[in-house]
Structure 1
């Protein structure tokens, strides 16, 4: 049983990077603090394997990446593609992440679906199609529409994910209507599970499309009681899987780093095998 705690992205964390001399060192210095990171860049574009390999080389052997699936796969771009076009993009995406497969650093591919991806037959068919194209890959799913977790439906949703070997993403997020989901602490894959902490900013969550909405949405600082309320839940979940990955996404106000470190302390976790910290390079020892 392994619990890996990290952040979504490595570039915007002043508490980590104040010792950096340049942006090229940011992932390397991040990997001195955490054993996992969410790679968001792949959501916005399909990148070259060389770029992925470069990032791979900046991290230690026991590091892993949660790769966010390209936005065309989840429908965020609101474009329509032929089956041939989307299959071609799937292949390009898979080639892109090959370096992580080769190094054993692919944690999972995260398919985060938009709020309008609700429970309906065509969306279930889309999930089955994706699973068929990614048969040999660990893939996680995150819903952003509450219809998948209606009381009379929730058990069927969980069973569907189990049958198709999706890794269920458990979320802590604002309870802000249909475009948010409740905490559903269910494991659907015996090897892995994923938890993402988005904060609890109800006002910000519903500001999609407004100016600076991304910054407002994830502006939240978890207090100790909120983190402690997750401690027993995480310890229980970790007994059901080989690897539990926890990502803090509440970084609009740069709170994710401190929250993740505090939660690591509450769980009594001390990571080994990370990169050397930058400050150690200038110490007198």
Structure 2
């Protein structure tokens, strides 16, 4: 049975900071991370999607967390084909005239530079054994097919030696007729598939599966079950308080996944107030009790 690490998809979310989960005196940058790491063993760095991460921040995160703590870093939007604002690029790249185009497409020179800077930024985490995975979350229009397969192969080439996890937003990847091909593709590339929990019955709904394609690591992300998924504000899309029954229904699936992987990361993305950290702590308790 692999180790199961449960956490949230952010420790810096403004609503979490305002919720009171962080005690008085632990609400500065260092205090927040040290407090979070004393309560939960893994966290996702979602800010990496919105702007290139900083090597200095990675060094500080290593200093402020214990051995065994894991950071799953979300890949920068440009690297997954998402629309990317020019303002999200470092100032020197903007001054040099680099700018992403529609749907995240960019020149080869810009992509090479961004890939290089992203790698440099996460290297302190990798070197310290804190890098759980780099999460590549592909957009809803990233559908199964030859072009997508080549994109995934290029991603695997660029990230050789990294622990990589891939999450799809297009439901076609995990439909019954494609699921085995998806598993085989990701396993052949040596990357971890990301299972999801989300609202069902929507055109974009993915099934609640926890596929394991890489023995070293499996990942499941809980997005909440809001009917506003895919539209409205961030709060509308992710607002959900998981009930104990909803979480308990996942325990057998998670334990099956953990039997196939050295480590399983369970991450809650329902980041409204302290809903994600509360769900993470509840799920940790359920998984602990299920072992008895």
TM exceeding 0.5: yes
Specify the alignment match of 2:279 in structure 1. 259
Structure 2 counterparts to residues 80-99 of structure 1, below 5 A: 80-99=105-124
Residue 17 of structure 1 aligns to a residue in which SS?
A: coil
Count of residue pairs the alignment pairs up: 264
Specify the alignment match of 2:43 in structure 1. 37
Q: Distance in 2 between matches of 1:91 and 1:230?
A: 38
Matching residue within 203, 206, 230 for 2:230: 206
Bigger shift: 52-61 or 129-138? Answer: 52-61
Structure 2 counterparts to residues 1-80 of structure 1, below 5 A: 1-12=2-13, 13=16, 14-24=19-29, 25-77=31-83, 78-80=103-105
Matching residue within 103, 108, 111 for 2:136: 111
Residue 124 of structure 1 aligns to a residue in which SS?
A: helix
Deviation of residue 176 (structure 1)?
Answer: 4.7
Specify the alignment match of 1:277 in structure 2. none
Specify the alignment match of 1:182 in structure 2. 207
Residue 153 of structure 2 aligns to a residue in which SS?
A: helix
Q: Which runs of 5+ in 2 are unaligned?
A: 84-102
Residue deviations 1:70-112, cap 9 Å, x none? 0001111223212332122111100001110121100000001
Specify the alignment match of 1:146 in structure 2. 171
Q: Distance in 1 between matches of 2:127 and 2:225?
A: 37
Residue 16 of structure 1 aligns to a residue in which SS?
A: coil
Specify the alignment match of 1:243 in structure 2. 263
Specify the alignment match of 1:280 in structure 2. none
Bigger shift: 3-12 or 115-124? Answer: 115-124
C-alpha RMSD of matched pairs (Å): 1.5
Whether the 8 Å contact between 1:16 and 1:30 is mirrored in structure 2 is no
1:102 aligns with 2:103: no
Residue 249 of structure 2 aligns to a residue in which SS?
A: helix
1:126 aligns with 2:146: no
Residue 215 of structure 2 aligns to a residue in which SS?
A: coil
Q: Distance in 1 between matches of 2:245 and 2:199?
A: 16
